[in-house]
Structure 1
């Protein structure tokens, strides 16, 4: 059995490393990472069972393993509760600080949705009211479970794409994605992106910084130009800055910025942390090879924005998910018939 555990661990470790090296901008990055962790946990359990007599003979080692197992079980049980409470509290906080609008209600809405679907609706015992209601609710539960699974894969994959062993990758360019400016004033969120971009650019000799963003409603000048002025004021040499001032979304940010580059180019994109992974997915769909770096933002805002980004990802890949959900529902119905 230990041989099987070692084989699974080696297999999932190799798969994870290959995905991270060849193409990490996919949900398979998160899935392979969790499979790898699961294989390590399975291997540890097999080793403990195989050498249980020897372990029990060494009291201190036995106590350490028992305590570790207890902590692990408590963590797995407590984690969902802590997450729901966190989204509930942070959801209220963002509404208080940023105002009441639907985009600021996502964290609170998710927490309430989990509470209602987990505790409230099951307590109504729908199958006793009408069998068709129970069947309908079963389909809704399946959809909800699928979305939670995909959300988990999305978050884990997003975190993996934010991890870099070093800043110097010999980039030729660093593209900073724009955000809204107030008149000509740079917002704190956009300033964090620019500063992160300058940090990465300075770590890569002969690198140029591309400020990418067009002019939107209520803006006195294109975002790219406002960003360039901010960077120059922060002692970034003017000759190291290129301006892209026509884009209005992430797709155009990447496309127009690439047109400014001398090919072949090795480059990174910089945006707010919660926006990095979806930007990388968009780049992959455009067959643009790049990596992403994230700028920090307020925690309560990042949680809410991550949900919004996941909804954006679902919209971007909706056809695939619709087909998969339909096939999954048909499979469940078929199994019940038999």
Structure 2
């Protein structure tokens, strides 16, 4: 049982960190490391029972991994085509296709390294495989913890409900994606109002170059048309990014009530990254997500993950450079071996 101690300790650290501050990407990484240590310990225990068990586990993991990569690639490719048909050929909508092509490229490089076995190919295959494993691990950590974060309870009381904008259709119309956020905000507001004084609802979003009105005004009008009290709505109409949404909304809340609590509403795919941004901005509040169309979720999730990689770019760049150096070392070893 001692082999499970590292996994148990990591899980304990994870639980303590979540209690203290759930809005950290480090929580996701520690949870992933705990799961990885637990899986490694389990495989080690099986191998100890005999070589046959070890071989069976190895082959099972290899087959499942290969099937998983094949299925994932096909799903990403199909989703990419669906995104292009429904949303157009913008760079963001091509992320699923790009991810599928990257998986095929990495598999091709690794297979070429195994088959050809020249120093150059071994070096390239080592670097590509290392980068793929690292990014895949982070992506799985992100997916699992984002799912978990979306199911953690928020404060029973709040002074504000902040709804993040996401663009308008035709310059003034609330699109289905944003309507989903507003409907979730209404339900959150109603639940909070049952427990005490009704919170103020802040619609957050400025006016883009192709928009006739600020997003916050269109969002407020949408809510008022559906019976929401106009007196409980505050408009934040300067922001153009998520960072600005939270920064300017924080200023409104702090000015009126320095000891405020809030609940931030966005779509479910965006909730965890918005929570990380809220922590960095110094906002006292958690984030809840609204439903997103199934076809839109994969591309949006990849975009969120890419944004998190950029947010932690120094750490990720350092680790990626080390993995590239590992590939160079493999090439040098083969060249001079």
Fold similarity call, TM over 0.5: yes
Tell me, what secondary structure is at the counterpart of 2:174? coil
Contact 1:168 1:204 in 2 (8 A): no
User: How far apart, in 2, do the equivalents of 1:319 and 1:41 lie?
Assistant: 29
User: How far apart, in 2, do the equivalents of 1:38 and 1:140 lie?
Assistant: 21
Aligned partner (choices 275, 299, 316) of residue 311 of structure 2 = 316
Q: Does residue 178 of the first structure (1) align with residue 198 of the second (2)?
A: no
User: How far apart, in 1, do the equivalents of 2:318 and 2:103 lie?
Assistant: 25
Contact 1:26 1:157 in 2 (8 A): no
Aligned partner (choices 249, 252, 259) of residue 257 of structure 1 = 249
Tell me, what secondary structure is at the counterpart of 1:260? helix
Instruction: Map Cα deviations across residues 21-66 of structure 1 (whole Å, 9 max, x no partner).
Output: 112222322233334445665777799999x9xxxxxxxxxxxxxx
Contact 1:168 1:200 in 2 (8 A): no
Q: Which residue is 1:102 aligned to? A: 91
1:16: how far off?
2.0
Could you say if the C-alpha distance between residues 177 and 121 of structure 1 is closer, same or farther in structure 2, counting changes exceeding 3 Å? same
* Aligned-residue CA RMSD (Å): 3.1
- State the TM-score, normalizing by the size of structure 2: 0.81
Aligned length: 316
- More displaced, 28-37 or 309-318? 28-37
Correspondence list, 1:43-58, <5 A: none
1:307: how far off?
1.1
Q: Which residue is 2:54 aligned to? A: none
Tell me, what secondary structure is at the counterpart of 1:235? coil
User: How far apart, in 2, do the equivalents of 1:9 and 1:141 lie?
Assistant: 25
User: Which runs of 5 or more structure 2 residues have no equivalent in the other structure?
Assistant: 50-58
User: How far apart, in 2, do the equivalents of 1:71 and 1:141 lie?
Assistant: 20
User: How far apart, in 2, do the equivalents of 1:43 and 1:137 lie?
Assistant: 28
- If asked which structure has higher relative contact order (CA below 8 Å, sep 6+), I would say 2
User: Which runs of 5 or more structure 1 residues have no equivalent in the other structure?
Assistant: 53-69
User: How far apart, in 2, do the equivalents of 1:43 and 1:136 lie?
Assistant: 30
Could you say if the C-alpha distance between residues 35 and 131 of structure 1 is closer, same or farther in structure 2, counting changes exceeding 3 Å? closer
- State the TM-score, normalizing by the size of structure 1: 0.81
Could you say if the C-alpha distance between residues 253 and 42 of structure 1 is closer, same or farther in structure 2, counting changes exceeding 3 Å? same
Q: Which residue is 2:104 aligned to? A: 115
